[in-house]
């Protein structure tokens, strides 16, 4: 499409002003550019050798629409009862912690976390993920192991691995108990 000439831009400016001034009565009007660059206003559609112009390309903005209906109330979230970031140091420590009282490594890649009173690992869901910032390496895994084989019944057991399944102490993790 050929760029409009200065003369065509004057016509375009006048057409835009006319359309804006006409309000909703001009709602079906279309601006069309001929191959010569001339811009004309058509009442419906451009002719075969004309190209329709989009007024938004020239900064035109239509009238503000009506306000939409208010949406439904969302489902209430579940509060987090405990969460912690555990580093991969020796001994492991909490980077951040809320709702856990202790963390210990009991074997390679095996961590026992003691939750605060009222949080029972046997009846609580825990979610764990690799904390990439505090970990060493790539392709690392972390998982909650329930029932616990290496930790006390009142503790959450987290196991960390390399992606080949080898237990690893080089994996920091984050655990959340909703």
pTM value? 0.58
Q: What is the mean pLDDT of residues 159-170?
A: 94
Nearest partner of 100 among 46, 173, 45, 150, judged by Cα? 173
The pLDDT, as a whole number, for residue 27 is 55
Cis status, amide bond into 147, omega within 30 of 0: yes
**H-only helix segments in 23-168:** none
Q: For residues 122 and 101, what is the distance between their CA atoms, to the nearest angstrom?
A: 17
CB of 167 within 8 A of CB of 109? yes
Higher pLDDT pick, 69 / 29? 69
What percent of the chain is modeled with pLDDT above 70? 84
Tens of pLDDT, residues 107-148: 999 999 999 999 999 999 999 999 999 998 889 999 999 888
Q: What are the Cα distances from residue 26, in Å, to 17, 31, 50, 141, 149?
A: 11, 11, 20, 62, 76
The pLDDT, as a whole number, for residue 152 is 95
Tokens of 70: 């208010």
Tens of pLDDT, residues 87-108: 988 899 999 999 999 999 999 9
Instruction: Inform me whether the pLDDT recorded for 26 exceeds 60.
Output: no
- Hey, how many other C-beta atoms are within 10 angstroms of the C-beta on 31? 22
């Amino acid at each position: 499409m050929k760029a409009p000439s200065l003369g065509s831009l004057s016509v375009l400016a006048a057409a835009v002003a006319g359309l804006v001034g006409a309000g909703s009565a001009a709602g079906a009007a279309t601006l069309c550019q001929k191959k010569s660059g001339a811009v004309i206003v058509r009442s419906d559609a451009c002719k075969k050798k004309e190209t329709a112009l989009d007024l938004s390309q020239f900064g035109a903005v239509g009238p503000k629409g009506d306000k939409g209906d208010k949406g439904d109330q969302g489902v209430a979230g579940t509060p987090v009862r405990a969460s912690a970031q555990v580093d991969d140091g020796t001994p492991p420590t909490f980077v951040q912690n809320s709702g856990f009282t202790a963390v210990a490594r009991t074997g390679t890649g095996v961590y026992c976390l003691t939750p605060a009173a009222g949080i029972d690992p046997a009846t609580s869901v825990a979610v764990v993920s690799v904390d990439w910032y505090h970990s060493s390496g790539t392709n690392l895994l972390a998982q909650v192991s329930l029932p616990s084989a290496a930790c006390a019944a009142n503790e959450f057991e987290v196991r960390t691995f390399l992606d080949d399944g080898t237990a690893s102490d080089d994996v920091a993790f984050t655990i959340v108990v909703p």
